[in-house]
Structure 1
Amino acid sequence: MTTQRITRDWRLPAAAVLLAALMMAAFTLHAHWTDFLQWCLATQITLHRYLVMYLLQLNNHQYSGGVWLLIGAFFYGVLHAIGPGHGKFIVTTWLSTNHESQTAARVIPVLGSLMQGVSAILFVYILAIGFNLAAGDLSESRWYVEKLSAMMIGSFGAYIIFSALKTLKVSKFTHRSLSPPHQHDAHCGCGHHGVGISTQGDWKTRLGVILAVGARPCSGAIMILLFANALGIVSWGVAAVMTMALGTALSIFGLSLAVRYARNSTAAWFGGETSSPGGWVTVLKIAGGVALILFAVVLFLTVIPVSANGDYIAAGC
Structure 2
Amino acid sequence: MLWLRIGTALFVSGALLWLFGFGGMSDIGQWATAQQRETQNALAGGLRAVRAGEPGAWLALMVLCAAYGFFHAAGPGHGKLVIGGYGAAEQVTARRLSVLAVASSLAQALTAVVLVALGAFVLGWGRTEMTNTADRILAPASYIAIALVGLWLVVRGLRRTRGAASHAHHIDEHGQCSTCGHAHAPSPAQAAAVTSWQDAAAIIGSIAIRPCTGAVFLLILCFGLGIPWAGIAGAFVMGLGTASVTVLVAITAVGARQSVLAGWSGTGAVRAMGLIEVAAGALIALIATALVLPLL
The bucket for the TM-score relative to the shorter chain is: 0.7 to 0.9
SS in 2 for 1:279: helix
Distance verdict in 2 for CA 1:200–1:102, change over 3 Å: farther
Correspondence 1:114 to 2:103: no
Report the aligned-residue RMSD: 3.1
What residue identity is the alignment partner of 2:81?
F
Name the residue aligned to 1:56. 48
Residue type at the aligned position of 1:241: A
What amino acid sits opposite 1:126 in the alignment?
A: L
Q: Counterparts in 2 of 1:102-251, with a 5 A limit?
A: 102-142=94-134, 143-171=136-164, 181=170, 192-194=186-188, 197=191, 199-251=193-245
User: How big is the shift at 1:108?
Assistant: 1.1
1:40: Cα distance to partner? 2.1
Counterpart Cα distance in 1 of 2:158 and 2:104 = 26
8 Å CA contact 1:273, 1:281 repeated in 2:
no
Distance 1:83 1:241, change over 3 A: same
| Contact 1:224/1:241 (8 A) holds in 2 | yes
Q: CA deviation at 1:261?
A: 1.7
The 2-side partners of 1:69 and 1:114 are apart by: 18
Q: Distance in 1 between matches of 2:168 and 2:266?
A: 14
TM-score, normalising length: structure 1:
0.79
Query: For the Cα contact (< 8 Å) 1:86–1:213, is it kept in 2?
Result: yes
**Structure number with bigger Rg:** 1
Instruction: Give the match for residue 250 of structure 2.
Output: 256
Distance, in Å, in 1 between the alignment partners of 2:72 and 2:64 is 12
Shift of residue 63 of structure 1? Answer: 4.2
Does residue 295 (structure 1) correspond to residue 287 (structure 2)? The answer is yes
Name the count of aligned residue pairs: 290
Matched, 1:47 2:65: no
- Identical residues among aligned pairs (%): 21
Query: What is the aligned partner in structure 2 of residue 308 from structure 1?
Result: none
For residue 105 of structure 1, report the CA deviation from its aligned partner: 2.0
Q: Which has the higher helix share?
A: 2
Bigger drift between 294-303 and 189-198 goes to 189-198
- Deviation at residue 125 of structure 1 after TM alignment: 0.9
Structure 1 runs not aligned, ≥5 long: 1-6, 306-317
